[in-house]
Structure 1
Amino acid sequence: MRSLPARAVTAICQALQEQIEHGLLAPGGKLPAERVLSEVFATTRITLREALVQLEAQGLVYREERRGWFVAGRRLIYDLGERSHFEVMVRRQGREPATELLSARLVPASAAICARLGLAGLSSVIQVCRLRRIDGRAVLYVERYLNPGYFPGILELELGGSLTQTYARYYGIEYGQVCFEVLPTALPGAAAGALKVSVGSPGLNITRINSDRQGRVIDCDLEYWRHDAICIRAIAR
């Protein structure tokens, strides 16, 4: 008897995966409510939820708090060797990017940020928090920390677009070396809230420590991605 729920979960997964692969359930489309789907598959909502969670782990569907389940689009290829910013990277792959500025302010730097930016203790940094979308779906929450010594007056500028272009236009600063740290993570409160998932949901944390062409560490990005939204790629040379 214990094998029956497992068989039901497998059957539901296979049925939904087939519908997605054949384009009957389009990327970004909302799935029917769990109650409706449980009736379609003549099963309990517990069994249905287990199937959906398995499909979510495979990156085929995703859930948003208080909104329901949706069909996931293809993963974005995140090439660690590219120097292009988010909007360019997304458009090159035939997708539509969007950025929402959540906040920009001067804050006390944590010990970790001081270490990454090479700042003394009790330093202040500029924190810029943004939410980024691909084809309308919120996939990335970013906290960028800037060394204020290199960017005087930047809080008076428009920060919703490309900061890379802002650096070059107003400060004559261009990126040089970038150091990446990539770790699976449980999404913290701010990231989870912005991405409309539960606190502690699985995510991917990419920390970027950015230097300019003169080798000065100028800023640090803490990127929190939905785990099913990207594929990390690096080419060894």
Structure 2
Amino acid sequence: MRDPAPRAVTSICRALAEQIERGLLTAGSQLPAERKLSEVFDTTRITLREALGQLESQGLIYREERRGWFVSPARVAYNPLVRTHFHAMVAEQGRVPATEVLSARLMPASADICELLQLPGLSSVYQIRRARRIDGRLVLYVEHYLNPAYFPGILAFDLTRSLTELYASEYDIRYGRVRFDMVPTALHNEAATALKVAVGGPALRIVRVNRDQHGRLIDCDMEFWRHDALHVSVEVPD
């Protein structure tokens, strides 16, 4: 006889969490299909999915559209006070970064971007959309908006590389003061599609507005991280 749903959900969560914590289900490994898991736990697909959803919200597992459920890898540590870039940050933690350019174009700036970059109405900006991976897993969708006055011809360069390094090597521009805004959010359609997850899934949105070494507003980034991929850790010096 099957357990009542609330008790079954708790039991499934506990069992899978213990398997993950003991290393029996390893980071990045795929869980059996939902039908198989329903048989293992002698429960309904509805009850199983509720349990899987709870484990996903805890960051223990994640789902990819049309692929199934996987055990979440360890989060990467992110300190916004440290001057670095994605590839360096990930590599320094022994992980493998990769970047894919989704699109790059000159476009009219939205009212929000005009406000962030203090541009007049009807201004144009470079928009660069990228998806980023850690150890092969899609974890970050980011939209970069650049003031074209400071970066002529930038779309001709290899935009899979670090923009931080590209700015320095080709334009003698280095980041100065930066403003961060971090809020939990739900993934919109473009971000969800890039990360191969369902629209409305949980994410951490980080908006960065950057000035250069001369104090000029040069660009802003809108990052959408999978909620289980990142650990924000800040140590404030004395």
| TM-score past 0.5 threshold | yes
Q: Displacement, 1:235?
A: 2.2
Q: Displacement, 1:153?
A: 0.6
| Percent identity over paired residues | 63
Equivalent position of 2:126 in the other structure: 126
Equivalent position of 2:95 in the other structure: 95
Q: Residue 121 of structure 1: SS of its match in structure 2?
A: coil
Normalising by structure 1, we get a TM-score of 0.97
Q: Deviations over 1:134-190 (max 9, x none)?
A: 111101000000000000011111111111111001000011111000011111111
Equivalent position of 1:33 in the other structure: 33
CA–CA distance in 2 between the matches of 1:152 and 1:52?
48
CA–CA distance in 1 between the matches of 2:91 and 2:152?
31
Equivalent position of 1:114 in the other structure: 114
CA–CA distance in 2 between the matches of 1:193 and 1:31?
22
Normalising by structure 2, we get a TM-score of 0.97
Q: Displacement, 1:200?
A: 1.3
Equivalent position of 1:230 in the other structure: 230
The one-letter code of the counterpart of 1:87 is H
Structure-to-structure mapping, 1:22-101, within 5 angstroms: 22-101=22-101
Structure-to-structure mapping, 1:100-179, within 5 angstroms: 100-179=100-179
CA–CA distance in 2 between the matches of 1:234 and 1:109?
32
Q: Aligned pairs, how many? A: 237
Equivalent position of 2:180 in the other structure: 180
Q: Residue 198 of structure 1: SS of its match in structure 2?
A: coil
CA–CA distance in 2 between the matches of 1:121 and 1:186?
29
CA–CA distance in 2 between the matches of 1:236 and 1:78?
14
CA–CA distance in 2 between the matches of 1:227 and 1:13?
19
